Amino acid sequence: MQQKPDIRKLSFEQLNAEIAFIGEKPFRAKQIFKWLWQKHARTFDEMSDLPKVLREKLNQHFDFHVLSVADEQNSEDGTVKSAFKTYDQKVIEGVLIPTSKRLTACISSQVGCSLTCAFCATGKLKRLRNLNAFEIVDQVIEINKQANKNFGKPLTNIVYMGMGEPLLNYNELLYSIDRITSEDGLGMSPKRITVSTAGIAKMIKKLGDDQVKFNLALSLHAANDKKRSEIMPINDQNNLAILADALRYYHGKTGQKVTFEYIIFKDFNDSLNDAKELAAFCGKVSSKVNIIEYNPIDEGGFERADPKKVDAFAAYLEQRGITAKVRRSRGKDIDAACGQLANKNKAVPA
């Protein structure tokens, strides 16, 4: 039996052609597209202004896969971690992160991850597949519902910092952002979206060529090739010199600063000499720094740095004119903090 295409994999032009093929008028494609991306229909039967005959045709010709919330955990600080189940019974995680000024959705781009960063729980999972753009958008839709339910306000920001390496799912990443930012989608400003990468130099340059409008963050964690390769094997092929070149290219094409994410580990990358190396690297690229406290994981082998050393580290950067903020993690009690997403939700079968 021939597999039916998922209707949300189609661009508007493709949908228009398919609708014509099944003998319907072009205005129907606009109606359907609006139901898919603005009204967030979950089934064809919800498309109430379409004739029943057309809805039956759609069911015959297309699949309509949606992400479902399989489990939800609430932290004492208001953070909500969700386990989402895909149509093919895979599990990914996303997080609603509340602060005084923002409601942020941290979303995933892959099922698992092919990178093996030593400090990250997701890196200990296998990469099973890339997520489709509609599965990425569904996470945003569901987390936005949680924001409205729990805080009476919609999401303000989105970060692609969940499971997986976004730049290894490039086309679906860009299409998901198109659907999130377009007027015929969710209509969110790209300035409120940040994509985090472990550092795929050629894809960073491609972001520049595509002149993307969203923010870029690089998981740096060491400004020393030896140390960075020790915790991030990807550095062997994408070392600091290669990354600096790619980031300068990206900045030249987009005019945007990059944010360096720097998880600070006890007695590994928390000294003033490490801060000096980071300051020197920041001098090569238009950038700012987020210093992130480490969140322990099983078999991680690292410890959280002393708060006094963290503050001294940040002060060293600030004294040299580098914008540096210390980010305190949220959702630690439910394994929802940075680097902890590993499908440990007890209510969801592995």
**Which one of the listed residues 93, 142, 172, 293 is annotated catalytic?**
93
Residue 24 falls in the annotated catalytic set: no
Residue pair 323/288 in contact by the 8 Å Cβ criterion:
yes
Distance CA 136, CA 181 (A): 13
Distance CA 41, CA 44 (A): 7
**Lookup: tokens for 4:** 């039916």
Instruction: Say how many residues make up the chain.
Output: 350
Instruction: Tell me the one-letter amino acid at 154.
Output: P
Per the rule left: phi > 0, alpha: psi between -120 and 50, beta: everything else, 76 is alpha
Residue pair 83/25 in contact by the 8 Å Cβ criterion:
no
**Which one of the listed residues 106, 120, 282, 338 is annotated catalytic?**
338
Taking alpha carbons only, the member of 67, 59, 61, 101 closest to residue 83 is: 67
Residue pair 104/159 in contact by the 8 Å Cβ criterion:
yes
Residue 93 falls in the annotated catalytic set: yes
> Could you give the residue ranges of the DSSP H alpha helices within 152-264?
170-181, 201-209, 225-231, 240-254
Residues serving a catalytic function are 93, 338
